[in-house]
Structure 1
Amino acid sequence: MSIRRTLVALAAAAGLVLVGASPAMAGGNPHFIKNATSASIDGVSLVVEFKEAGLSSGAVETIVVSADLEALYQCVNGGGNVPSDPKKTVFDDRVSESGVFTAGQNGNLIGSLTLDPPDADAVLDCPGGQTSTLVSVIWSNVRIDDTTSGASLSLRGVFTGP
């Protein structure tokens, strides 16, 4: 009978270990939570806040945010006016930013990434006495990808500034 009690005790202990380990192995269905993920304009920058669930506790994830950017740059004179023959250019390209984030004990990851347009001086060369200036931005086709877990989410909408 002592062998039977020993086997029952071992089986009970193994069951407790499996039950106790389940919260630590909570991952398995990584996904971004749509109603907790958003994009907004801050000046000319696009700020994307996100929440991902279904990860293992402590999982380290690489998040990439990308969006199409159409930005208008113009030369502005010393008086703050656009000359009658304005020199301008449109920057039209996909912009991205990435970061590394760690999931909490509950398997959720909360964070934000900011996309910035290129500096005006890097895009447009103005004549003497004029300054290259970013006039407007249009962000669209925003996408969030977790390159570690494979989760992704596209955000609808067009975001304009300033």
Structure 2
Amino acid sequence: MSIRKVMAALAAAAALVLVGAGPAMAGGSPHFIKSATSASADGTGLVVQFKEAGLSAGSTETVQATAHLDATYQCINGGGHNPSDPKKTTVSADVSESGVFTAGKNGNLVGSLTLSPPAAADVLDCPGGQTSTLTAVTWSSVMVEDLTSGASIMLAGTFSWGAPV
């Protein structure tokens, strides 16, 4: 075999390796970066920040944050106090929010989503002279999921605001 044929065969093999490795490196293993994905209480809401890697550059991803909510709503009188016979209710439900994000040239996607409890007026009807008020919130079981790539991560912790009156 001549040197020219050997060099041509090596060049062809190198080209195949580079072509085959390109897609694998660009978007082969979508995953959330644990150290760059977190949740924190912001008043009554929950802000979920995330970073996902291993995506194809420019890919469009639908990311969803979900958390379990336990919230207490109470009727508060004009003086800012509970009446002697307080009316209250508790909501226990999963809340989610999603958004569409685009991965950068490096295959990384960085974003945030905010979860909010239902508005007090939508949850509890109060008698005249009293206002439906959200008095306590606890968020738990926080999960971030890329509905497009299938990557997901569960975040540890419970996040609370307020206290039932």
With structure 1 as the length reference, what TM-score do the two structures score? Answer: 0.88
* Aligned position for 1:36: 36
Give CA-to-partner distance per residue, 1:50-77, whole Å, 9 cap, x none: 0000000001000010000000000001
Give CA-to-partner distance per residue, 1:76-96, whole Å, 9 cap, x none: 011111111100000100000
1:58-137 equivalent positions in 2, closer than 5 A: 58-137=58-137
Residue 139 of structure 1: CA displacement?
0.2
Specify the code of the residue in structure 2 equivalent to 1:149: S
Cα distance in 2, alignment partners of residues 146 and 69 from structure 1? 21
Q: Is the 8 A contact 1:101 1:109 kept in 2?
A: yes
Runs of 4+ aligned residues of structure 1 deviating over 4 Å after TM superposition are none
Q: Is the 8 A contact 1:24 1:56 kept in 2?
A: no
Gaps of 5+ in 1: none
Gaps of 5+ in 2: none
Specify the code of the residue in structure 2 equivalent to 1:30: P
SS of the residue corresponding to residue 26 of structure 1 reads: helix
Q: Is the 8 A contact 1:33 1:51 kept in 2?
A: yes
With structure 2 as the length reference, what TM-score do the two structures score? Answer: 0.86
After superposition, the CA RMSD in angstroms is 2.5
Cα distance in 2, alignment partners of residues 60 and 24 from structure 1? 18
Cα distance in 2, alignment partners of residues 25 and 60 from structure 1? 17
Alignment CA distance shift 1:105-1:24 (3 Å):
farther
Residue 124 of structure 1: CA displacement?
0.2
* Aligned position for 1:143: 143
1:4-19 equivalent positions in 2, closer than 5 A: 8=8, 11=11, 15=15, 18=18
Residue 15 of structure 1: CA displacement?
2.6
Q: How many residues align?
A: 158
Q: Is the 8 A contact 1:124 1:132 kept in 2?
A: yes
